Structure 1
Amino acid sequence: MPHPSAIRLGLNVDHVATLRNARGGARPDPVRIALAAIAAGADGITAHLREDRRHIRDTDMARLKAEIPKPLNFEMAATPDMIRIALETKPHAVCLVPERREELTTEGGLDVVGQRDSLAPSIARFGDAGIRVSLFIAADAQQIEMAAQLRAPAIEIHTGGWCDAVVDGHTEKADAEWRRIVEGVALAKSAGLEVHAGHGLDYATAETIAALPEIVELNIGYFMMGEALLVGIAETVRTMRAAMDRGRATLKTRMA
């Protein structure tokens, strides 16, 4: 078993493709950024292939799978077309997310309770293909319990509400959202789920959440791409890795 202090950093490269697509052509290249991030210490790469292909494209997913030496996490809506592409691509993992064409970014967690009947066969198909499934959900007891009932190996807790409240200085809301996360990840761990987290994380919030022993993976993209414009992707990855390690060090202190 991994040491309880182990925590992985997954870099989401969607917005490298957003910048590329604003002008057309091939640059900046998401695969090149992914390789540089891995060289600097990222443990894996996440990319969301949306129905409207607003950033990542099919060829990006194929190249990421073929060219990166670390796990690829294929973020996707559970539609027949995306399921087909993911099964053909054979990434290390898929993360099933809700998706609305008009949204700017993923706005909330997947309704696993309401979509149980449609999600169950998809989770089973990916499992049969040897692809790890995670469900992107809110830190809600009903959603977490349903994820466990559906035998999804992992969940990713949506941290956007907490991160937004922290950044906006809404202390009471941030505290309430944080309590939900703490309770949710404990419940998920007790239910046998591998627990990831992501959405809206920056250096400070990543350091804070890395102190939760149940969480083994953080997936971060937009903030890190913005930082990379200033200092480069390698320095951004190293700084994020250091922030996560500082958070995890508090866990080691508590266990000592």
Structure 2
Amino acid sequence: MTKLSVNINKIATLRNARGGNVPDLLKMASDIESFGAQGITIHPRPDERHIRYQDARDLKKIVATEFNIEGNPVPKFIDLVLQVKPTQVTLVPDAVDAITSNSGWDTIRHKGFLKEVIQTFKKAGIRCSIFVDPEARMVEGAAETGTDRIELYTEYYAKTYGGGNRQEAVKPFVETAEIAHSLGLGINAGHDLSLDNIAFFKQNVPHLLEVSIGHALICESLYLGLDNVINMYKNKLK
């Protein structure tokens, strides 16, 4: 079975919007695990607009499943990961002002840098993954860095699938997954995966170890839970 790691950035966004500690990020992470999630993912950014660096330290104490920290390996991020020592670190080439992740690594151009960073993390016993586009040469470049896994950037899949061409949407991911597996790399995936498109992706992409889902999962939870909560309020107001 492919593992589900839940990205809780959006929960932190809600908390930060009002100050205080509602919703309680740590309790939500524990609840998500108790509901069956097999991992917790966070993606702290330098401005700490959602996940704060202290959140990573606090979550380390309570996450009982796999703990995955994503981010651009700037010095501050590297220091955090080495301090926290999560199960996995996923390297993402975010610009400082990026709203969300929007591309994979050029693993050929940045091979030397990625290799150095990965060696640092692996010496600390941390599994490493690189965020990549579904391109054969980028997967091949990733294999040369010493990474344990790649995470396939699935925005193209989600957009093309939504346009109605399922086979075209999934084809590059099937091909690159086969290449990655042949090179000894584990395969993760994430970005814009949802209840609408996840089953087809899973059914067609071989060797898929883990998906990381945040924005869609939280939005879907709001929609699917609103009926229950509204009626709970109505019962309180009778």
Q: TM-score, normalised by structure 2?
A: 0.90
Q: How does 1:1-256 map to 2 (within 5 A)?
A: 6-167=1-162, 169=163, 171=165, 175-211=167-203, 212-232=205-225
Counterpart of 2:196, as a letter, is A
Distance in structure 2 (CA, Å) of the matches to 1:177 and 1:108 = 17
Asked if the contact 1:14–1:30 (Cα under 8 Å) also holds between the matched residues in 2, the reply is no
Counterpart of 1:216, as a letter, is L
Q: Secondary structure of 2:46's partner?
A: coil
Counterpart of 1:136, as a letter, is F
Runs ≥4 residues deviating over 6 A: none
How far is 1:29 from its partner? 2.0
* Bigger relative CO (Cα 8 Å, ≥ 6 apart): 1
Asked if the contact 1:136–1:157 (Cα under 8 Å) also holds between the matched residues in 2, the reply is yes
In angstroms, what is the RMSD of aligned CA positions? 1.5
Distance in structure 2 (CA, Å) of the matches to 1:31 and 1:206 = 27
Asked if the contact 1:135–1:152 (Cα under 8 Å) also holds between the matched residues in 2, the reply is yes
Distance in structure 2 (CA, Å) of the matches to 1:164 and 1:62 = 35
How far is 1:201 from its partner? 0.4
How far is 1:166 from its partner? 2.1
How far is 1:170 from its partner? 5.3
Q: TM-score, normalised by structure 1?
A: 0.84
CA offsets 1:44-101 (integer angstroms, 9 cap, x no match): 0000011111110012111111011111101111111110110001111100001113
Unpaired stretches in structure 2, ≥5 consecutive residues: 226-238
Identity of aligned residues (%): 34
Distance in structure 2 (CA, Å) of the matches to 1:25 and 1:80 = 29
Please say which of residues 106-115 and 82-91 is displaced more in the overlay.
106-115
